[in-house]
Amino acid sequence: MDYQRLVAVMRRLSLEAGDAIMAVYASEDFDVRVKSDDSPVTQADETADAIISAGLRAAFPDVPLVTEEQSATHSLEGDTFLIVDPLDGTKEFVNRRGDFTVNIALVEGGIPTRGVVYAPARERMFFTDAQGRAVEEAGPFDKERIGKTRAVFVSDVDNSALMVVASKSHRDQATDDYIAKYAVRDMTSAGSSLKFCLIATGEADLYPRLGRTMEWDTAAGDAVLRGAGGSVVRFDDHMPLIYGKPNFENPFFIALSPGVELKAP
């Protein structure tokens, strides 16, 4: 794989998709439909998906593609593929809260090795470079040329004063009970895959997710976090989260800076 070309293509497509998403976001009204799994979908999801999937298939025709909005891709078997969530955080989008992202990642051997997370409403762009290192790019963003970037790294953890990030839309009592096992300095909420990126930049230390997610929800953020020195592990046994699972469904998981002393479930 030509990682330099891959990163350039994923980044450009995320920006193109972000433009399409923001055009819908800026409109006075847009339709919201409900899919078979009871999750919402909008024109923005579908337009962004069309842009990204067409671009990836043209650039990398030999690499299998899995994308949330195309159910025909969900029957793929294997551990190496491109995976896309064209609009992660649709509930945040619908409620105009801004914490939604475009997620594109490459999984190799069950591990997300390269990824892009773009939050168009927040004007934040995170990605792994050709070497797999995590960076944040400062805007404004040029689709054809990467601008000024800074390397990002996980925090130097103080287990007596952890910073925890939790979901805005999916936080529940079980999550609060687990967080209570830690000495927490402060908590913040964020939507979509931005939670992984907050750990990658050292803005948070720990993100437990005790709820249903799919691999396209997590792969890009997982890649960025890995590139910053962090990790994502299963909630039950603290083993690394792997990809290419049946139906692309994740178990409960914990994203963290490596200095965090994990508590038992």
For residue 85, say whether it is annotated as part of any ligand binding site: yes
For residue 6, say whether it is annotated as part of any ligand binding site: no
Distance from C-alpha of 27 to C-alpha of 39, rounded to nearest angstrom? 21
Exposure class string for 34-71: b at 16+ Cβ within 10 A, else e: eeeeeeebbbbbbbbbbbbbebbeebbeebebbbbbee
For residue 88, say whether it is annotated as part of any ligand binding site: yes
For residue 210, say whether it is annotated as part of any ligand binding site: no
For residue 176, say whether it is annotated as part of any ligand binding site: no
Distance from C-alpha of 260 to C-alpha of 265, rounded to nearest angstrom? 15
For residue 89, say whether it is annotated as part of any ligand binding site: yes
For residue 87, say whether it is annotated as part of any ligand binding site: yes
Name the binding residues for substrate. 68, 87-90, 217
Name the binding residues for Mg(2+). 68, 85, 87-88, 217
Name the binding residues. 68, 85, 87-90, 217
